[in-house]
Amino acid sequence: MLTTKSRIVVTGGAGFLGKAVVRSLEQRGYLDIFIPRIEQYDLRKDEDIRRLYDTARPDAVIHLAAVVGGIGANRENPGRFFYDNAIMGIQLIEIGRQAGVQKMVVIGTICAYPKFAPVPFREDDLWTGYPEETNAPYGLAKKMLLVQCQAYRQQYGFNAIFLLPVNLYGPSDNFNPASSHVIPALIKKCVDAREAGDTQIVVWGDGSATREFIYVDDAAEGIVMASERYNDADPVNIGAGFEISIRDLVALVVRLTRFEGRIIWDTTKPNGQPRRKLDTQRARERFGFEATTNFEEGLKKTIAWYEEHRRTG
């Protein structure tokens, strides 16, 4: 049982989602939060993880750290994405078990779902097929951590839970075109083109794929609620429960960024998974989580953040 006096390690706590999770914890009154930085703790190394546990002595760990990127980054780094994500999680869980951690919260990924999972994605369909090929190494590395959590609960009574957040977006997202996901990539393209006076932008695929997005503060709220209230083996989706096509998303971002040029669809590039939408009933029933941020309002905040930091950065 977590209390505000619990010592909590948040891996990836300096990242996009991590900062939001730390804010949510602090707003609830948690005072003892330890954020391991990669400069001091390389979570791929056994000795660094042991030193982390010796130093922080956590009651709970929220494991957010991951090596991630969009379709392009996944295609270019399948081996690294598999190894880094698998080895970080496997060792963190095992050494945490040895250290007597009371609660392990492991963050998975929507990429773990089969390419053609029935829509909306239900947690019980995680094993009905192979993930979409461009992000399968990353998705499967994360899914193995679900197996580990369930196996450790069964054999050792280890309280490990596994959460599956859908695509995130929001202020402070990663806008680096080499590794960003679709929303920050589109925002950057549209704003930069508008300010440069360009007459067109190029978008990957044909726009037919669909996606679901959750505002980063909503996702953080769901993770913290699960950390406090959920203690079962079943994986749980963290999502907003809606679906939008990439074509409609592009039109919305174009309107909100006031870009007036043409959209060129590069159909030689992959669409990624055909459809994505989560069933969010389990999170609602098990620990009372529902996303609350309106998508257009969340996009406006994200665009405003990028425009401000583009000028001042």
Task: Quote the tokens at residue 91.
Answer: 């060792």
Q: From the CA atom positions of the chain, what is the Rg in Å? A: 19
Active site residue 138: yes
Counting beta carbons within 10 angstroms of the beta carbon of residue 1, is it exposed (0 to 12), middle (13 to 18) or buried (19 or more)? exposed
- CA angle at 20 for the pair 14 and 26, rounded to the nearest 5°: 95
Counting beta carbons within 10 angstroms of the beta carbon of residue 112, is it exposed (0 to 12), middle (13 to 18) or buried (19 or more)? buried
Question: Measured between alpha carbons, how far is 166 from 161 in angstroms, rounded to an integer?
Answer: 17
Secondary structure element (H or E) that encloses residue 104, with its range: strand 103-107
What lies within 8 Å, CB to CB, of 124 at 6+ separation is none
CA dist list (Å): 123 to 20, 120, 165, 234: 25, 10, 12, 8
Question: Catalytic residue among 41, 138, 169, 215, which?
Answer: 138
Q: Is there a contact between 61 and 8 (Cβ–Cβ < 8 Å)? A: yes
**132 HSE (CA, 13 A, CB side):** 21
What lies within 8 Å, CB to CB, of 109 at 6+ separation is 66, 68, 138, 139, 142, 164, 165
Q: Name the region of 101 (left: φ>0; alpha: ψ -120 to 50; beta: rest).
A: beta
What lies within 8 Å, CB to CB, of 256 at 6+ separation is 296, 299, 300, 303
* Positions marked catalytic: 138
